[in-house]
Structure 1
Amino acid sequence: MTTLKNIGTCLFIIMGLSLGSCNKDFLDEELTTQYSTDYFDTPEGLEELTISLYGNIRWHFGYEWAYGTTLYGTDEFTNANDLTNEMWNTYDNRLGPLGATPETGAANGNATSPANLWDELYYGIASANTIIAKAPEIIEDESVRNRCLAHAYFLRGYNYYRLTAQYGSVVLQTEPAEGIVRNFERPTAEACWEQVISDLRNAYELFEGEVFTYGKGITWTKATAAHFLAKALLFRASERNDDWNSSYKEADLNEAIEAASYAISARGPLTPDYNDLYANWTGVDCEIEQLDEILMAAGYNADGATGGRFGNRTYNYFNPQFSSFSGGWVRRGVWIGGMDFQRCRPTEYSYAVFDHVNDARMWKTFKTVYGTNNIAEEGHDVQPGDPGIVMILNTQDDHTYDAYTFGAFVQSPDWTDTQGRLAEWNVGERQTPTAGTLTDEPGQWVPNSLVLYQNGEYVAPNFKNQPICNFFAGINKTDDGSRFAEKGDAHRDVTMARLAETYLVRAECYVRLNQYGNAMNDINEVRRRAEWKAGENRSYYTDGGMAFENNSLNTGTAAENYINSNLNMNTYYLSNPDIDVTTEASSLELSSFPSNLPPEDEKILTRIGASSQYDRALNFILNERTRELLGEWQRWETLSRTGTLFKRARAFNPEAATGITENKHELRPIPQTFIDGLLNEDGTNLSPSDKAIWQNPGYGN
């Protein structure tokens, strides 16, 4: 189906795909997929269509585009040995308007095309347009009418936000289209942002406060609209729009602060333990999916009948290829919460941006130890449940491991304990939240080990299968042990917005208004939560793999594999060898801003040449966003918005550095299928010059 038909007739597609594929309370309702358009001339039909809007956002997490359009090509993540979406990270000529297929040079048929995001967002816009047009005339009950309109304005505003953030100026279709529409005028980016902000303002005014109509943790509320209204206003006031936004800036920033303040007051305070946001996921619809901090999530459950077109596949993308490089000592399966598809490999920056000693977020996010669940070769003192993979995340100035040999397991008929790329460690005992130690006393052999730095050099990428590293510490924010098959859909919700980001959005607005004290106060709210609390065991680690305990598959060999694979330990003390075992609280609060920043930030700011007060403050917030929001599906848009994408990708992403082009790759290519299908009002084809108007700079044929 072409993009043109998507714009003109996607209402018919929504009927078949979205109804019955939403969230929580209505996920268990009877699946209804066949309606005529007459049904949407009834109050019941419009409310059904309103509910279906929740299904539109689930698409974002159903396939490879989840990370390709949001995380690749940035300072945080690069590609590993899997090259499915390599062009989105390397910015080579395969990232173009024709799409990504094997015929255009993609590694396989799973690659993301620029048209994927474009098409799907217009599906949701078409449904929103129908509700906005019909609800005032058809729904007499004011509260129901306002609820439907609030949802429709929000979804349309959110979808246009994503479209404009990715592509720049896009088609503004704000009324139900009849038939196939094939002639449009390309609006300005200014007009697009005005539409986004207008829709989100309408949603903000129409939502009834924090009323969780369709299930807490999922339902969009006034705070949800406030959060995205603040983001849209900040986007309009940001560097990417500096050519035309001067008359908006001050008013937009003040309005954004007001909107963010509503969300913070309505849904605060922050969840006390960072682990509760992602790591302590125990199963479908568990308590941490209902946290007040969560402002928007794509909802999932375990009912296969309501899975919709795309299930949650995000658990595939953040783990290293452990089943390959481990030499068989660690086998993958549903008992480990994530698959080892090695799509998103953290850059050196993503490790170095943390305070390795005092920032608990690092150790509650990175998975650094895998237990042995299979004895791959006899003759070694390794038992099931011993660590099979250990990753030491040390700092550049640490020289403890300069003379040690690290690497993936190497099987050899003449192997001895002194040969191969191996290491010896005392891995301590199984951890609990308050007990257990993992220290740097040598004593036990581990088949696979990695260190970040030796002799002051970043050596982690050296532990690899050709041509690119596949051995790295992944992150745990999507792990799901509730799956019913190794490659089955995940059942956990995917968080799309939360209150910690709202604080950082407001802090950035304050920075842009030269109110650095207010900005520091908001930053410190986020950093206080990130501190180690008194009594915490810094060696303890967990993730959503724990949901396997409540999985019907948790029997027999699978149950043994779960116990042996998930040791609940990290490498905190191995990575910080000068730190004695402690349960004392740590401190991360800033005492000045933007002067005298933490050493990890000063090093990064020096690397990118951020010296002015404003540049230091802005880039510190970008660093803080990494520490707080690593892997949360928005980094590319953030860097594009702030005009820092080129500089940061060049500095911190070696695979992106040679391909990224300034003033080109801040926008995505407009799909060529859309442009080629456009007609003039008289039905004639567009001329080459008219087609060029529709394409973003640098992507011409």
Structure 2
Amino acid sequence: MKNKYILAFLFVMGLSSSCKKFLDTEPTDFYSPSNYYQTADQLQVALNGIYSNMMYERMYGQVLNFNFVSATDEMLPNRPVNGEARGLYYSYDAGHAYVADVWRWPYLGINNANVLIDNINKPTMDEKQRGYIKGQALFLRAYNYFILTTNFGEVPIILHSPGISETNIPASSQAAVYAQIVADLKEAETLLQGRTAAALGYNDQVTITAVQAMLARVYLYWAGYPTNDATKYADAVVYADKVINSGLHGLNPDYKQVFINLCQDKYDVKEDILEWGSAGAAAGVTNKTGNDIGNFVGIQSAILNVNGVFDPASYSAVGWVQTTKKLFDSYEVEPSSTLVNKASLDTRRDWNCADFIWTVNTTTATRIKTDKPNPWQMMCGKFRREYCPDASKNLGTYNINWPVIRYSDVLLMKAEAENQVNGPTSAAYDAINQVRKRAYGTMYGNIVKNITIVTGGSGYSAANPPVVTISGGGGSGATAVAVVSTAGAVTGIKLTSRGNLTAAGPYFTNAPTVTIAAPTTGVTATATATITNGNEYLLTPGLNKADFQLAIRDERMRELCFEAYRKADLIRWGNFVGDMQAFANYATANGVSATTGNAIGYSGITGITQRHVLLPKPTYELNLNKALVQNPGY
């Protein structure tokens, strides 16, 4: 789809009402609702325009996954300049430009959906295709209302394009907004029967399971704070089960591959139930201009460009957000590990918490990898631009799709809702343990668990550590690097890969052999490996309901960090202010001060109060719509 058609469509939607005031004849040189929507193709173009809005910069291209959600207990900004202007530090007010965008752009999407829905029956066309287009438009309208109510609470419900005199529209209660969202989604569920990502071959359009997964999410939020309608947990179970029992989705056995696929424009229609498509997406028809995914929330890196020659191994990312020690320490570790940061049994930790940055030396034409062992200063490594195509690595923006709903989230929603309804049943345990089993890399077999130094040897160089080779044991793909002390001894082995993590394997059936290259002069170091037994992933059995809920909270952070869920999760769990105050106390007790850790990020969370549960309604909207009431505290 060509962007010029999207822009033309949005332009028409914005001006069509006012045109009637000064034109008393049918327009002949541009489209309006009265002379558009005459064919199935025109309906599709209109639908594409609504999709395109979702990856605009002020939506999921930047704002909704960065501004206002980057200061939580899983990550903190490090941006001293313009940090306030971007809403990173809870000091925003009703006049903030990005706050206005969080209101404006969802309502633009809603208006475009309303116009399409109002005109859906105009063309003569295949009725199934008409239903598919309407179902997608209903989902998109519902999703935009979900953005609005989770950010602003009570908002106006508008289901048709308002007339020019309809300016004072009161806000509806949050429960009423959720009810409208559910009504739209349930109608969409009926209309989209049979429309699957497996059949399409891509997942950046709405399908039946995307609708059902979204219903599970909406019910989970409706059950939580501030609506607190606990009866909705049962509904969340019903819709999570629909997705699970469909057989259409499953976990990618390699956690990191989910995000590498996004960077490489590869669709994983089993893991990613829905993505917002960006330009460059492989097969979908919806696209938008470049976005900042992997840039602001990514691994800091500079471009190496010497005399106009670009080094394709380098890439551009500013890395304005860093991890927290709380996130890093939430991943289980191997107690016997001799590394400074003990090895984690959970493959997600070292992917999500990247302990390095890249700089460049143009004089020597080299890239320099700098270690960041302090968990407060590690980079958010989930979306790694190093895996993007070479042609786009030197751009500030790149067209990575945004993962809207992943299957692992559905499993965690099922576990949480099931626990709320029936307690920690076997079904609740099974759902969370599926996520954990993938996290530990043991979905289809066993991997390397740990490497223990037997003799450290001598004569090695810390600057040029020896090559480590892992072989045998029936498996493949395990790699590691040696850690050498200033005295020249090998003090630890850091696994960079625990083994091949594909469905086919091969996996390890017994401990592989570890070989450490000999020094030029000195004594060769030796080490031994152990492999997993396949049960390490299991959540502690016999938890009570309250403790199981706490386990869910930690698991969601470990699995979904940096995907813009954490703040909303803390809010719906009902103690956002208290949780953030407790985290601020934790930070000062665990290595953060005015000069250590991430002092900038810490300073931005010390003033959180109850008003920060919601964003303020924008000043410009309050001036236009006199029926609106400002949120408390602003």
Partner of 1:42: 38
The residue correspondences of 1:5-404 to structure 2 (distance < 5 A) are 12-13=12-13, 35-44=31-40, 45-59=42-56, 64-69=62-67, 71-86=69-84, 88-92=87-91, 95-100=92-97, 113-136=98-121, 138-179=123-164, 181-212=166-197, 215-242=201-228, 245=229, 249-250=230-231, 252-266=232-246, 267-279=248-260, 283=264, 285-286=265-266, 289-302=267-280, 310-319=289-298, 321=300, 323=302, 335=312, 339-356=316-333, 357-369=344-356, 374=361, 388-389=368-369
Partner of 2:608: 660
Distance (Å, rounded) in 1 between the aligned partners of 2:88 and 2:358: 31
Distance (Å, rounded) in 2 between the aligned partners of 1:147 and 1:208: 9
1:677 maps to 2:624: yes
Change (3 A) 1:498 1:449: closer
Change (3 A) 1:224 1:640: same
Distance (Å, rounded) in 2 between the aligned partners of 1:590 and 1:196: 36
Q: CA deviation at 1:62?
A: 6.1
Distance (Å, rounded) in 2 between the aligned partners of 1:361 and 1:572: 21
Change (3 A) 1:307 1:210: closer
Q: CA deviation at 1:176?
A: 2.4
Q: Secondary structure at the match of 1:38?
A: coil
Deviation track 1:228-249 (CA, whole Å, cap 9, x = no partner) reads 111111111113213xx3xxx3
Q: Secondary structure at the match of 2:238?
A: helix
Partner of 1:397: none
Q: Secondary structure at the match of 1:135?
A: coil
Q: CA deviation at 1:34?
A: 6.2
Could you tell me which of 624, 627, 630 is aligned with 2:561? 630
Q: Secondary structure at the match of 1:296?
A: strand
Q: Give the conservation status (yes or no) of the 8 Å contact 2:345–2:449.
A: no
Q: Give the conservation status (yes or no) of the 8 Å contact 1:72–1:79.
A: yes
Partner of 2:439: 530
Change (3 A) 1:519 1:34: farther
The residue correspondences of 1:488-507 to structure 2 (distance < 5 A) are 488-507=396-415
Distance (Å, rounded) in 2 between the aligned partners of 1:349 and 1:338: 29
The residue correspondences of 1:343-492 to structure 2 (distance < 5 A) are 343-356=320-333, 357-369=344-356, 374=361, 388-389=368-369, 448-452=370-374, 471-479=377-385, 480-484=388-392, 486-492=394-400
Distance (Å, rounded) in 1 between the aligned partners of 2:493 and 2:580: 32
Distance (Å, rounded) in 1 between the aligned partners of 2:547 and 2:482: 29
Distance (Å, rounded) in 2 between the aligned partners of 1:359 and 1:259: 29
Distance (Å, rounded) in 2 between the aligned partners of 1:345 and 1:337: 20
Change (3 A) 1:122 1:502: same
Distance (Å, rounded) in 2 between the aligned partners of 1:528 and 1:192: 37
Flag structure 2 segments of 5+ consecutive residues without an equivalent: 1-8, 17-28, 334-343, 452-477, 485-489, 495-526, 585-601
Deviation track 1:590-626 (CA, whole Å, cap 9, x = no partner) reads 354563xxxxxxxxxxxxxxxxx44432232121111
Flag structure 1 segments of 5+ consecutive residues without an equivalent: 1-8, 17-32, 101-112, 378-382, 390-447, 453-459, 462-470, 541-567, 596-612, 680-689
Q: CA deviation at 1:344?
A: 1.4
Q: Give the conservation status (yes or no) of the 8 Å contact 1:135–1:145.
A: yes
Q: Secondary structure at the match of 2:322?
A: strand
Deviation track 1:498-529 (CA, whole Å, cap 9, x = no partner) reads 11000011111012113302221110010011
Deviation track 1:566-596 (CA, whole Å, cap 9, x = no partner) reads xx9887979995986636236443354563x
Percentage identity across aligned positions? 21
Partner of 1:431: none
Q: Give the conservation status (yes or no) of the 8 Å contact 2:237–2:417.
A: yes
Q: Secondary structure at the match of 2:631?
A: coil
Kindly provide the amino acid, as one letter, of the partner of residue 531 in structure 2.
E
Change (3 A) 1:628 1:588: farther
The residue correspondences of 1:577-592 to structure 2 (distance < 5 A) are 577=492, 582=529, 584-585=531-532, 587-592=535-540
Q: CA RMSD in A?
A: 3.8
Change (3 A) 1:573 1:503: farther
Q: Secondary structure at the match of 1:253?
A: helix
Distance (Å, rounded) in 1 between the aligned partners of 2:138 and 2:281: 29
Distance (Å, rounded) in 1 between the aligned partners of 2:398 and 2:296: 12
Q: CA deviation at 1:257?
A: 1.2
Deviation track 1:612-665 (CA, whole Å, cap 9, x = no partner) reads x44432232121111111111222222222223223322335334421002x11
Q: CA deviation at 1:214?
A: 6.0
Change (3 A) 1:582 1:474: farther
Q: Secondary structure at the match of 1:290?
A: coil
Kindly provide the amino acid, as one letter, of the partner of residue 589 in structure 1.
Y
Kindly provide the amino acid, as one letter, of the partner of residue 270 in structure 1.
L
Distance (Å, rounded) in 1 between the aligned partners of 2:281 and 2:549: 44
Change (3 A) 1:573 1:54: farther
Range with bigger deviation, 157-166 or 76-85: 76-85
Which one scores higher on RCO, CA 8 angstroms, separation ≥ 6? 1
Q: CA deviation at 1:367?
A: 3.0
Change (3 A) 1:321 1:46: closer
Deviation track 1:433-484 (CA, whole Å, cap 9, x = no partner) reads xxxxxxxxxxxxxxx44333xxxxxxx55xxxxxxxxx53331325234443
Change (3 A) 1:189 1:370: closer
Partner of 2:474: none
Q: CA deviation at 1:205?
A: 1.9
Distance (Å, rounded) in 1 between the aligned partners of 2:258 and 2:251: 10
Distance (Å, rounded) in 2 between the aligned partners of 1:522 and 1:628: 13
Q: Secondary structure at the match of 1:521?
A: helix
Q: Give the conservation status (yes or no) of the 8 Å contact 1:71–1:636.
A: yes
Change (3 A) 1:136 1:339: same
Q: Give the conservation status (yes or no) of the 8 Å contact 2:209–2:243.
A: yes
Q: Secondary structure at the match of 1:582?
A: strand
Change (3 A) 1:620 1:70: farther
Aligned residues: 510
Distance (Å, rounded) in 2 between the aligned partners of 1:638 and 1:14: 35
Distance (Å, rounded) in 1 between the aligned partners of 2:172 and 2:311: 48
Query: Where is the strand percentage greater, Structure 1 or Structure 2?
Result: 2
Kindly provide the amino acid, as one letter, of the partner of residue 360 in structure 1.
T
Q: CA deviation at 1:667?
A: 0.7
Change (3 A) 1:281 1:307: closer
Distance (Å, rounded) in 2 between the aligned partners of 1:349 and 1:644: 18
Deviation track 1:384-423 (CA, whole Å, cap 9, x = no partner) reads 58xx43xxxxxxxxxxxxxxxxxxxxxxxxxxxxxxxxxx
How does the TM-score come out when normalised to structure 1? 0.65
Change (3 A) 1:66 1:194: closer
Could you tell me which of 553, 556, 573 is aligned with 1:642? 573
Kindly provide the amino acid, as one letter, of the partner of residue 149 in structure 2.
T
Q: CA deviation at 1:537?
A: 6.6
1:511 maps to 2:414: no
